[in-house]
């Protein structure tokens, strides 16, 4: 398949291009497009064939449901069977934005889009290119992140092209994603709201509106007996090609430990990388040292993490160590993704233990 790659400026949107892209989706084709979280691989959410094509292009198991993207609240009424009252409060505050809500679905949504589930995940993105495209496409775009299954989600078009060139009809380059981490997913179909995937909209932010909210345990634990409620969270995910290990403990100890391990790996001929912070980057020795930003700036860390993981791949880095980050606020989402990227490979250094 010949993939058309076009650039669109969010500040000055070329509506003729958007019309073309919308037509591709209406006719059952696929268009990769920017959102404020990560790039999405879009097809008509109400067309079962389009959803099948999305799974094939992404190399994704078809039991893993897709998020349906809408551009206005009215669109929700024809795809959600029951809409709890809190939906409107959440929507007022966080839509358009990086929040996905789960509802019972109507028959209008094919089961191919929802991976066979009777529920549907819905999000209204804030990115203006995404919104224009949704409107031009008929109002409902099913879109997973554009990464080939298992890889870190693309936040810049370069990595969308790497993963999808030749597999979709069009790729829209809209620059770097503002947030860099996928949406928070909250399930509203049970007795209590449950966060299935943490994100930029934090538990605290949801609790301001919903009262108490639960976090699906499987978001942070590896071997729980129950399967995750968001089927996608059970697959190995976000992984760079190199072997990634997270090191937890007092910063000084962590630094010493990582430097020692890096030296060993380099001695064995491996190319090494470190995920550091502005505070620590100068004290490492590795083939590639990348700072995610200031340690306290979780929003910045969230924005840079996936891109850094992909850059290590570009550089052929084989062994990667990462510092651990504060699991508060957006940091909770950062640690959720980092743990999955590392396949839960974590080394915990005991306080005061001799790390040299």
Residue 274, contacted partner among Mg ion, ligand TXA, none, CB below 5-8 A by kind: none
**Residue 270: CB partners within 8 Å, gap ≥ 6?**
318, 319
> Which stretch in 60-68, 214-222, 240-248, 273-281 sits in contact with ligand TXA by CB under 6 A?
60-68
By C-beta, is 87 or 145 nearer to Mg ion? 145
Mark 172-211 with x for binding to ligand TXA (rule: CB under 6 A) and - for no binding: ----------xx-x----------x---------------
Select the residue interacting with ligand TXA from 51, 119, 202, 322 (CB under 6 A).
119
Q: Are 14 and 22 in contact (CB under 8 A)?
A: no
By C-beta, is 93 or 271 nearer to ligand TXA? 93
Shortest distance in whole angstroms from residue 174 CB to ligand TXA: 12
H/E stretch holding 351 reads none
Residues found in the chain: 356
Q: Would you count residue 233 as binding ligand TXA (CB under 6 A)?
A: yes
Q: Which of 35, 8, 34 is nearest to 20 (CA)?
A: 8
96 C-beta neighbours (distance < 10 Å), count: 21
Residue 120, contacted partner among Mg ion, ligand TXA, none, CB below 5-8 A by kind: ligand TXA
Task: Please give the residues from 129 up to 148 whose contact with Mg ion meets the rule CB under 5 A.
Answer: 145
Q: Would you count residue 184 as binding Mg ion (CB under 5 A)?
A: no
Q: Which of 215, 220, 197, 200 is nearest to 346 (CA)?
A: 220
By C-beta, is 132 or 230 nearer to ligand TXA? 230
Q: Would you count residue 230 as binding ligand TXA (CB under 6 A)?
A: yes
Mark 72-111 with x for binding to ligand TXA (rule: CB under 6 A) and - for no binding: --------------------------x-x-x---------
Q: Where are the alpha helices (DSSP H) in the chain?
A: 15-26, 48-58, 74-77, 86-94, 128-136, 157-164, 203-210, 251-267, 298-314, 330-341
By C-beta, is 36 or 169 nearer to ligand TXA? 36
Q: How far apart are CA 144 and CA 153, in angstroms?
A: 10
**Residue 42: CB partners within 8 Å, gap ≥ 6?**
25, 30, 31, 32, 33, 54, 69, 133, 137, 141, 142, 143
Binding residues for Mg ion, rule: CB under 5 A, are 145
């Amino acid at each position: 398949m010949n993939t058309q790659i076009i650039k669109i400026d969010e500040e000055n949107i070329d509506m003729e291009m958007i019309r073309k892209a919308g037509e591709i989706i209406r006719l059952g084709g696929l268009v990769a497009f920017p959102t404020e979280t990560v790039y999405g691989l879009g097809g008509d959410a109400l067309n079962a064939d389009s959803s099948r094509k999305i799974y094939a292009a992404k190399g994704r198991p078809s039991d893993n449901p897709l998020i349906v993207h809408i551009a206005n609240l009215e669109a929700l009424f024809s795809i959600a069977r029951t809409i709890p009252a809190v939906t409107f409060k959440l929507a007022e505050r966080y839509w358009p934005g990086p929040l996905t809500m789960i509802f019972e679905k109507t028959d209008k949504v094919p089961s191919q889009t929802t991976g066979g589930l009777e529920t549907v995940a819905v999000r209204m993105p804030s990115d203006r290119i995404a919104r224009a495209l949704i409107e031009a496409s008929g109002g409902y775009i099913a879109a997973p992140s554009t990464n080939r299954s298992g890889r870190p989600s693309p936040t810049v078009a370069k990595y969308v092209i790497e993963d999808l060139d030749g597999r979709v009809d069009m790729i829209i380059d809209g620059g770097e994603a503002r947030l860099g981490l996928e949406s928070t997913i909250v399930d509203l179909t049970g007795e209590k709201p449950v966060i299935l995937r943490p994100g930029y909209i934090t538990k605290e932010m949801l609790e301001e509106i919903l009262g108490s909210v639960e976090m699906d345990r499987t978001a942070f634990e590896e071997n729980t007996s129950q399967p995750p409620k968001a089927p996608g969270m059970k697959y190995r995910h976000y992984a760079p090609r190199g072997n990634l290990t997270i090191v937890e403990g007092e910063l000084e100890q962590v630094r010493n430990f990582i430097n020692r391990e890096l030296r060993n790996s380099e001695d064995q001929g491996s190319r090494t990388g470190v995920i550091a912070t502005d505070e620590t980057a100068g004290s490492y020795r590795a083939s590639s040292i990348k700072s995610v930003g200031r340690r306290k700036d979780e929003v910045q860390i969230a924005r840079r993490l996936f891109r850094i993981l992909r850059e290590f791949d570009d550089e052929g880095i084989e062994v990667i160590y990462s510092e651990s980050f504060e699991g508060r606020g957006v940091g909770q989402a950062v640690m959720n993704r980092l743990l999955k990227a590392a396949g839960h490979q974590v080394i915990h250094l005991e306080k005061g233990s001799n790390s040299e």
